[in-house]
A = this chain, B = another copy of it.
Amino acid sequence: MIERDGRNIVLTVAYDGTEFFGFQSQAGTGLPTIQEALETAIHKLTGETITVEGSGRTDTGVHAWGQVVNFFTKSTIPPERWLLALAPYLPETIVVRESRQAAADFHARFSAKEKTYVYQFYCQAVPSPFHRRYSYHVTYDLDVEAMQEAAGYLEGSHDFRAFCAAGAKTKTFVREIYACRLEQDGCLLRLVVRGNGFLWNMVRIIAGTLLGVGAGKRRPQDLPVLLGLGDRRLTGATLPPQGLTLHHVEYGDLLK
């Protein structure tokens, strides 16, 4: 049970997920997670034992630039001071980028209106020691135009069960994707996906499927067929976590 007394503090958090076992606490395992690191830092700062709610769980090795979390505190630390106050208690790999107070009914997960994920490919024959932690290395030439065309078919409201890890529990597989685009930036190719919600491993499976299109193994027009068949076995591989970053969570008027 989360105590809803005191201020509802909202943090925007960036992290390098390389050395963490995902966002969610894995109680009793001793494995480092983002949630546990944040809760420990808050405990050291205020003495309170609180639960931090994230906008969603990121998996082991996945990064965030704009993860959003909230928690209730009786501390009198002004909302905007939490950013600096927590810094000494966090590892260098977790940075609070913004802190503020929200209404008592704001919830990082349930209040989220849309999320943006970025999957990053490093496209070069030879790998880069500087990008290995934050991208997936692709050694062959990609047909980015075909990938872009394929990505366009994913925009809109669809049943994405073919792009969801087996065994995921969910009431519905329907999600609305507002934008699914590719952006080239030198050796980096970024898949940017914005939607009202995402299924488990959805972006990594989309990235793997679009990679197949880029490699000429699939055609762009296969995408609507894959959506229609709804069979996970027909879509691409789940690409590795280090290419994925939770870039932004949007709350509209609920968080200004």
Interface residue ranges, A against B (CB under 8 Å) = 14-16, 63, 65, 83, 92-97, 126-130, 132, 134
Q: How far is the CA of A97 from the CA of B131 in the complex (A)?
A: 14
Contact A95 B126, beta carbon cutoff 8 Å: yes
Contact B95 A63, beta carbon cutoff 8 Å: no
Q: Which has the most chain B C-beta neighbours within 10 Å: A83, A127, A130, A134?
A: A130
Chain B residues in 8 Å Cβ range of A15: 129
Chain B residues in 8 Å Cβ range of A129: 14-16, 63, 92-95
Q: How often does this chain occur in the complex, in copies?
A: 2
A63 smallest CB distance to B (angstroms): 7
Contact B126 A97, beta carbon cutoff 8 Å: yes
Q: How far is the CA of A65 from the CA of B129 in the complex (A)?
A: 9
Contact B127 A95, beta carbon cutoff 8 Å: yes
Contact B16 A126, beta carbon cutoff 8 Å: no
19 contacts between A and B (CB under 8 A): A14-B128, A14-B130, A15-B129, A16-B129, A16-B132, A63-B130, A65-B130, A83-B126, A92-B129, A93-B129, A93-B132, A94-B129, A95-B126, A95-B127, A95-B128, A95-B129, A96-B126, A97-B126, A130-B134
Q: Across the two chains, which residue of chain B brings its CB closest to A90?
A: B129
Q: How far is the CA of A37 from the CA of B129 in the complex (A)?
A: 15
Q: How far is the CA of A92 from the CA of B94 in the complex (A)?
A: 23
Q: Across the two chains, which residue of chain B brings its CB closest to A14?
A: B129
A32 smallest CB distance to B (angstroms): 14
- Additional A-B contacts beyond A14-B130, A16-B129, A92-B129 (5; CB < 8 A): A14-B128, A63-B129, A63-B130, A65-B130, A95-B126
